[in-house]
Amino acid sequence: MILNLKDFEESETKLEEIFLDPNNPRFFIEPQSVTPDSKITENVVQEKCLSKMKDYGIDELKESIKNVGFIQIDKVVIRPLDTNRYVIVEGNRRIAALKTLKKEIENSEIQLPKEIVNSILKFKVIVYKGKEKDIAWIIQGIRHISGVRNWPSYQQAEILIKILKEKKVGIREASNALGVGPRVAARLVRGYRGYQQAKSDDEFGQSVLPSHFSYFEEAIFAKPALQSWLSWNENSEKFENILNLKKLLSWITSEEGRAPRISRAMDLRDVLSEAISSHPDLMKRFENEETMTIEKLNFELGKRTPIDVEDWLHRIKDFSRDLTELPSIKIMDKKTEFKDVLEELGDLIKKHLEILKLMK
């Protein structure tokens, strides 16, 4: 069992005694240095945290608190730093909203009823007194993967990897701890491994961003054709076809003056995988023709998709309307080419009409 309920107890504390967490898992989209407990209470650290938290949508929380007070449907979780000083384990957004409101009250920017001010300055919390050093990752993972305000997939994967590594547990136990199914957890972990390999590529690694994680988790590891094309090795947890990996990275990343050829994970999942599995000739064209976009590849695939009878009828009617608008005078410069095409078309139409007559 990762958590022990005996390590949590309810208490009451003041807002001024609670400090934002500079090591908040929300901030770890990319690896960064860890701030030791001894520096967490420093003003510069706290101001930086508050500035970052404003990017996570605290305005809605502020408006709610200003109108009805700080109502705790579930309590903020904190852990002790020293006597009467605590750092947040879960609830950074809520505390950031409270601290911002407190500043606005002190600066006379807003006036609030006494009972609302009191709810901001002092409230009940849950204090964690255990020794689990990654408690913030675990608690926030439980809430934000399976519950409130879902985290991006990359951060979900980071938490799973952390639990697997630190706790030395299996994928099923780790997924149960965070409230996700083992299949989803396995795909997140594979996506993370593949993403990290891409990040370490000597040619394209610097251009691989956290936003590219979905290409791995939602596309590559959702489609066996893509895994096979990249030669994913389950034992080593690596792509073995480095040539194809480099091709892929060149298509999904951008450089100055060059937009990515595949700008959405869904196009990698649905379009490129279809070309790989069913249309190798089109896949070859996409590999060799740098000007061929994923949209063009999708268009070419669409031309090979079986069309039902109604679609054929609509197409013929549309073409018939186009023919009625064919400007005879303007096509004189290419009258031979048009004459040949129209005669060939006429022969095809006659053949279809003969077949339809026989069907009577």
Q: Give yes or no for residue 8 having a pLDDT over 90.
A: no
Name the pLDDT band for 289 (thresholds 50, 70, 90). Answer: very high
**Gap between the Cα atoms of 254 and 246, Å rounded:** 13
Tell me which residue of 229, 216, 218, 227 sits closest to 280, measured CA to CA.
Answer: 229
Considering only 6-15, 104-113, 269-278, 337-346, which range has the smallest mean pLDDT? 337-346
Encoded tokens for 9? 């107890």
Could you give the maximum distance between any two Cα atoms of the chain, in Å?
A: 96
**Gap between the Cα atoms of 203 and 198, Å rounded:** 10
Other Cβ atoms within 10 Å of 175 Cβ, number:
24
Name the pLDDT band for 270 (thresholds 50, 70, 90). Answer: very high
Q: What's residue 149's pLDDT?
A: 46
According to DSSP, the residues that pair with 10 across neighbouring strands are 126
Name the pLDDT band for 218 (thresholds 50, 70, 90). Answer: confident
Other Cβ atoms within 10 Å of 98 Cβ, number:
23
**Gap between the Cα atoms of 167 and 173, Å rounded:** 10
**What contacts 207, CB < 8 A, 6 or more positions away?**
249, 253, 254, 255
pTM over 0.75: no
Other Cβ atoms within 10 Å of 117 Cβ, number:
16
SS3 content of the chain, % helix, strand, coil (to 5): 60, 10, 30
**Helix 43-53 with 92-106: angle, nearest 10 deg:** 110
Judge whether 151 and 145 are in contact, CB under 8 Å.
yes
Which runs of E-coded beta strand occur in 176-316? 232-233, 238-239
Helix (H) or strand (E) holding 136: helix 135-146
**For residues 67-72, average pLDDT:** 76
Q: Give yes or no for residue 50 having a pLDDT over 60.
A: yes
**For residues 78-105, average pLDDT:** 91
User: Which amino acid type is present at position 225?
Assistant: A
